[in-house]
Chain A
Amino acid sequence: DAGITQSPRHKVTETGTPVTLRCHQTENHRYMYWYRQDPGHGLRLIHYSYGVKDTDKGEVSDGYSVSRSKTEDFLLTLESATSSQTSVYFCAISPGLAGANNEQFFGPGTRLTVL
């Protein structure tokens, strides 16, 4: 978890409310990712960023938006939360695109419950 923080760590909200999760890194890594973790599904990529203001969709992006105005911060927003978005959300970073020579490093996670 070194160099990556997520806030809040736990949140309970109601259906239809907006929610923003924050990921902050001190490693100056170019790539940042948002995943959700659900039992039996492992981690699924929601969105990722390859630089300031540069983002792209992942496997399960519907209902989520992201923003990256600074290298160190990557925000995930649920515009109108639904119960299906109850999950544990992980932020990850890597110096380059995760793969051969670039490992991903993960934050501690945010547990979100939508009632």
Chain B
Amino acid sequence: AQSVAQPEDQVNVAEGNPLTVKCTYSVSGNPYLFWYVQYPNRGLQFLLKYITGDNLVKGSYGFEAEFNKSQTSFHLKKPSALVSDSALYFCAVRDGGNAGNMLTFGGGTRLMVKP
């Protein structure tokens, strides 16, 4: 079975400070990992993904994520937060070793960036 956990319901950060949103996963094969962002009253938007290759993945809006196989983590990061980054963030995983698997989403983390 595959699963993903986002241990923090909410992350608060001051504008201009670095931010980290945590994600850990569990799969039996190779993980395909994704981050999505949801703004109020909108659907989810794709931010970035890790499939293979470089552990540091760069995505939209200045976000990046680091794949750490030993810690089974895929934390989302940004060097300098903006108030406009305030939104709901979802991590998702798919076990690449099983062709029939669907994406499994975490419970979401609300990011609040204060001016």
Chain A residues packing against B (C-beta within 8 Å): 1, 4, 33, 35, 40-45, 48, 58-59, 90, 92, 97-101, 103-109
User: Smallest distance from the beta carbon of A19 to chain B beta carbons, Å?
Assistant: 20
Say whether A99 contacts B43, CB under 8 Å: no
Q: A33-B102, A106-B44 are in contact. List 12 more A-B contacts (CB 8 A).
A: A1-B43, A44-B105, A45-B102, A90-B43, A98-B102, A100-B51, A103-B46, A103-B49, A106-B43, A106-B45, A107-B43, A108-B42
Q: Residue of A at shortest CB range from B95?
A: A99
Chain B residues whose CB sits within 8 angstroms of the CB of A48 once the complex forms: 102
- Give the contacting residue for A40; candidates B36, B45, B102, B107; CB below 8 A: B107
Chain B residues packing against A (C-beta within 8 Å): 6, 9, 32, 34, 36, 41-46, 49, 51, 90, 94, 96, 99, 101-103, 105-108
Chain A residues whose CB sits within 8 angstroms of the CB of B108 once the complex forms: 42
> How far does the alpha carbon of A8 sit from the alpha carbon of B107 in the complex, in Å?
25
Chain A residues whose CB sits within 8 angstroms of the CB of B51 once the complex forms: 100-101
Chain A residues whose CB sits within 8 angstroms of the CB of B41 once the complex forms: 108-109
- Give the contacting residue for A109; candidates B34, B43, B94; CB below 8 A: B43
Chain A residues whose CB sits within 8 angstroms of the CB of B106 once the complex forms: 42
